[in-house]
Amino acid sequence: MTQRIRALAVLSGSVVTVIGATITVIFFFQPWRSCDYEDTSVGCAMLPTDATVMGVAMWSTLVGLIILALALTLRRRQCPR
């Protein structure tokens, strides 16, 4: 049972971390945005909604990393023989 929970925690922590980091990078570069005062989309001002999504993605990445670290540091229980 403990191994199943550990494996689930490692898997879910990894998935949340990868998705959160991917969304953070995408919203940092803003490839869909263009503006008159900047040559690249990275230099354009971020809209409040985009900033909120990026902030949630950053926190999700952090939470995923914490879950992953805790799951990897859990020790396996040894059954007495």
Please give the model's pTM, rounded to 2 decimal places.
0.82
The pLDDT tens digits of the residues spanning 20-59 come to 999 999 999 998 888 888 888 888 889 999 999 999 999 9
Say if 28 falls within a structural domain.
yes
Domain residues for 43?
Answer: 2-73
Q: Which residue has the tokens 């998705």?
A: 19
Say if 23 falls within a structural domain.
yes
Report the number of distinct structural domains present in the chain: 1
Say if 81 falls within a structural domain.
no
Say if 79 falls within a structural domain.
no
The pLDDT tens digits of the residues spanning 37-48 come to 888 888 888 999
Q: How far is CA 50 from CA 31, 36, 43, 76, in A?
A: 12, 19, 14, 42
